[in-house]
Amino acid sequence: MKTLLKNIAHLATFDDAGGQAGREITGASVLIDGNVIAAVGTDAELAEVGAGADRVIDLTDHVVMPGMVNTHHHFYQNLTRVMVQDDPLFVWLKTLYPIWARLDDDANRVSSRMAMAELIHSGCTTTSDHLYIMPGDFRLDTCIEVAGEMGMRFHAARGAMSRGESKGGLPPDSCVEDEDAILTDMERLIGRHHDTADHAMTRIVLAPCSPFSVTPQLMKDAAALARRHTGVRLHSHIAEVLDEEVYCQEMYGMRSVGFAESVGWLGPDVWFAHAIFLNDDEIRHFAETGTGATFCPSAHMRCGLGIMRAREMLDAGVVVGLGVDGSASNDTSNMFLEARFAQYLQRVAPDRYLSAQPGGRGGFGGTPTAMSTREALWMATRGGAALLGRDDIGQIAPGKSADIIAMNLNQIGLAGAERDPLAAMVMCGPFKVDQSFINGVQVVADGAFTRIDIGAALAEHRATMRRIYDA
């Protein structure tokens, strides 16, 4: 089936043609053939090839761009939103671990559906999820099944915790798994679900949780297992909180990045969430080894963690993407909001030179040139795609996956934004998408989901929360 999107007011391709957003075209058309983009250009340029389209969608007064790529999340956490609002991360974790330990696979299914719906509505078409706590009958397969129902492109990260409190770790022993069982399940998931083909809808990621919740041996074994299979990437948390640095120094006699390197976890097949407390040498080492990082600005602010040095990382050549993180450390899952906060946090990051001057200046200096809206959206599209090891998503170009979002400019919050409608998607938002295509399938049409009953999904989510908290 061929679908022609025409009369697009502003198309940002994020292709390789140059500029931070690739080619930007006014009065544009995009031709979709099945699950692939067939042609991109002005309305006039595509008039002939689009004449035979089976379906035509008029996107007058719309901004169109590639679907965004979320590279760090914890779906199940939307069952525990707005809890532990004012405590440090380790207290937050210790408070929530016992609640998460009571979850079951039905809660996993319900929370996954809600998380994906929220992401899709905010312009995300590909997501990863880091499922590192596996209580009761939890199955990563369930998340994969829900992604299939929702039509979402999904990189399912089989997380794990294996070092409980009795062995010097942070999580309670009730939340950890046997390492042999973890590795066996990782191997099973790769064999059953990992798709290496272009335009794949499902891939598997191996993702032991963090330096304070797994053993070095599990990190080494997971890395070795991933590297025996094509396209299986590695993901974990690193340098999220200063307490982690203290833990790694006391436990391993080195900083977090040094620990990661000691267990074989630096390289072009590895990306870490957070990476807030990297020093200059560690940023250079990430760049040299091809190791990537996910910037989760909302969670960093909500938890009072700090500001990731995304500007320095990008300048050094580190691949940086965006992530919403879990809905208990962020409380929302909105990719446009992450792009906005990513840009703004970099603009207010302390100027290390000025603040170090004799006598000081009072407060800290920032700069509006630290990051542009297009750079923030590049991280949300091309950066995220690169972290996941993909060159078939994150851009609108012939031969790429047909993952496309459209936002209607006829909204109160966008009045007066005609000078730069693409920047308005970040600076004036966040907004919900009007249209969303994933793998060529329209999953949102005129603002409404086409594959799920969102009212029924919300009711089921509320019922699940009552069941969990009454237990």
pLDDT tens track for 376-430: 999 999 999 999 999 999 999 999 999 999 999 999 999 999 999 999 999 998 8
Is residue 241 one of the residues assigned to a domain? yes
Coil, helix or strand for 47? coil
pLDDT (tens digit per residue) in 172-212? 888 889 999 999 999 999 999 999 999 999 999 999 999 88
Both 355 and 430 in one domain: the answer is no
Is residue 149 one of the residues assigned to a domain? yes
Which tokens sit at 395?
Answer: 């851009």
- Which pLDDT band holds residue 356 (cuts at 50, 70, 90)? very low
Both 38 and 76 in one domain: the answer is no
Rounded to two decimals, what is the model's pTM? 0.95
Both 128 and 184 in one domain: the answer is yes
Lowest mean pLDDT among 290-294, 309-313, 362-366: 362-366
CATH value at residue 293:
3.20.20.140
Both 113 and 22 in one domain: the answer is no
Both 330 and 398 in one domain: the answer is no
Both 78 and 146 in one domain: the answer is yes
Is residue 470 one of the residues assigned to a domain? no
Is residue 141 one of the residues assigned to a domain? yes
Both 288 and 201 in one domain: the answer is yes
Full residue range of the structural domain in which residue 244 is found: 68-387
Coil, helix or strand for 20? coil
Both 404 and 355 in one domain: the answer is no
For position 297, what pLDDT does the model report?
Answer: 96
CATH value at residue 62:
2.30.40.10
Q: Tell whether the model's pLDDT for residue 355 goes beyond 60.
A: no
Q: Which of 337, 360, 387 is the last residue of a domain?
A: 387
Highest mean pLDDT among 33-47, 133-147, 317-331: 33-47
Question: What is the share, in percent, of the chain residues with pLDDT greater than 70?
Answer: 97
Which tokens sit at 182?
Answer: 């973890």
Number of structural domains found in the chain: 2
CB 418 within 8 A of CB 103: no
Is residue 460 one of the residues assigned to a domain? no
Residue found under tokens 């990190």? 219
Give me the phi and psi of 131, to 5 degrees please: -95, 95
Both 160 and 253 in one domain: the answer is yes
For position 359, what pLDDT does the model report?
Answer: 55
Question: What is the share, in percent, of the chain residues with pLDDT greater than 90?
Answer: 78
Both 97 and 138 in one domain: the answer is yes
Both 431 and 315 in one domain: the answer is no
Specify the DSSP element, H or E, that contains 295.
strand 292-295
Is residue 466 one of the residues assigned to a domain? no
Q: Quick one: CA torsion of 239, 244, 250, 252, rounded to 10 degrees? A: -50
Q: Tell whether the model's pLDDT for residue 30 goes beyond 70.
A: yes
For position 22, what pLDDT does the model report?
Answer: 96
Return the higher-pLDDT residue of 178 and 99. Answer: 178
For position 361, what pLDDT does the model report?
Answer: 53
Is residue 73 one of the residues assigned to a domain? yes
- Which pLDDT band holds residue 358 (cuts at 50, 70, 90)? low
Is residue 454 one of the residues assigned to a domain? no
Give me the phi and psi of 334, to 5 degrees please: -125, 115
Mean pLDDT of the residues in the chain: 93
Both 185 and 321 in one domain: the answer is yes
